[in-house]
Structure 1
Amino acid sequence: MSEHIFKSRLGPHLETFIAQKQSVGFPYQSSARILYHFDEMVFEYFPDVESLTKEIVDKWIHCKPNEHPNGLLRRITPIRQFGKYLHAIGHEAYILPGNIPNKQLQYEAHIFTTKELQAFFHAIDSCPVSP
């Protein structure tokens, strides 16, 4: 399952949640790492709490300095899914609303022209070899 040991009182539920995701075919590796860091935060700041509360989730979703909105989205999506999982198995849990964060940045694709591609590969070919 996971190479991490969950320490908070939510830990056993986090482990079964990850196992359930993996058992239906999701690799769930990066989300598992996020949940491990979430567990560390819960263990440090909420050591006696046994349910997923709004207070815990609010602390987790607080933006980190210089965090990109899409990074925040990647960090909170597993928490939203975990809340839904807990609710589905009959536990009280705060489920983060789907509109948080309220904006995901979209990237606009750039189609390179033949000239731009030639200049790009010329620049790469001009770079000195590096070990």
Structure 2
Amino acid sequence: MHEYKSLLAGTAPAFIDFMNASQHWNENYEKRFIAFDNYLFNMHRNESVLTQDMVDAWCSVRPEESANANIARTSVVIAFMRYLQRRGLTNVKEPDRPKPQKCTHIPHAFTTEELTRFFYACDHIIVQNNRKASLVKKLILCVIFRLMYCTGLRPKEARMLKKNEVDLEHGVLNIVETKGHDQHYVAVHESMVIIMREYERRMEELVPERVY
């Protein structure tokens, strides 16, 4: 767990406990709150009280930062300010933030040919000098993209999947590391389970002590 070094040290642990208890704390919040702590420590290490100027400076829109990126970066700080305000621990007001922008990005729909070529490229990655790290990388890429394709898992959900969260007997995934705290189960098609069983066999030979 990160050791808070700035003037947040006295209130951060209780805030994080509160956010965890209300199931609103997540990995992104943690990273951004740590960044806020580092900013306060580096720029205001001799201060003991959080001020409006400190919060406004951190939450202001940065050059090349979109409105949505700013909202995502500062959301945990806004939540922290509300936490302090409701307990009478600060007079600092929430800074003005930009309005959310409507996403205009159009996702790319892969054709059958593109998918075939993509998975072919994964399957034919060259293992460098028979190095274990190179072989492990190839095994992971061959499986993880197929798993996302056939189940609809988010990249983080697939990447953070632990061994003990995969039931290869019944073909069920226990998705714990997900967006927010929406733990759920995902059934996997038998054809994918067969691939995953072979992956498990090979990985047990190469990295038997692995967690993921």
Q: Could you say which TM-score interval applies, normalised by the shorter chain?
A: 0.7 to 0.9
Question: For the residues of structure 1 that align with 2:21 and 2:4, how far apart are their CA atoms?
Answer: 19
Residue equivalent to 1:108 = 106
Distance 2:123 2:84 in 1: 54
Question: Out of 64, 75, 78, which is 1:77 matched to?
Answer: 75
Contact 2:68 2:100 in 1 (8 A): no
Q: Distance in 2 between matches of 1:5 and 1:15?
A: 9
- What TM-score do you get using the length of structure 1 for normalisation? 0.73
- Structure 1 letter corresponding to 2:122: I
TM-score between both structures, scaled by the size of structure 2: 0.49
User: 1 CA distance for matches of 2:39 and 2:122?
Assistant: 43
Cα distance in 1, alignment partners of residues 34 and 76 from structure 2: 11
| Counterparts of 1:119 and 1:60, CA distance in 2 | 45
User: Per-residue displacement from partner, 1:10-44 (whole Å, max 9, x unpaired)?
Assistant: 32222211110012234433312321221222133
Larger Rg: 2
Which ranges in structure 1 are unaligned for 5 or more consecutive residues? none
CA 1:76/1:27 → structure 2, altered by over 3 Å: closer, same or farther?
Answer: closer
Partner Cα separation in structure 1 for residue 13 and residue 22 of structure 2 = 15
Q: 1:124 to 1:4 in 2, by over 3 A?
A: closer
Matched, 1:36 2:45: no
Distance in 2 between residues matched to 1:13 and 1:101, nearest whole Å: 29
2:59–2:95 Cα contact (<8 Å) kept: no
What's 2:125 paired with? 127
Structure 2 counterpart of 1:11, one-letter code: A
Is 2:93 the partner of 1:94?
Answer: yes
Q: Which runs of 5+ in 2 are unaligned?
A: 129-133, 135-212
The percent of aligned pairs where both chains have the same amino acid is 24
Instruction: Provide the aligned length of Structure 1 versus Structure 2.
Output: 127
Aligned-CA RMSD value: 2.8
User: Corresponding residue for 1:20?
Assistant: 18
Higher relative contact order (CA 8 A, sep 6+): 1
CA shift at 1:67, angstroms?
A: 5.7
* 1: CA distance, partners of 2:72 / 2:32: 9
CA deviation vs aligned residue, 1:74-102 (integer Å, no higher than 9, x gap) = 321111111111111123122133x4365
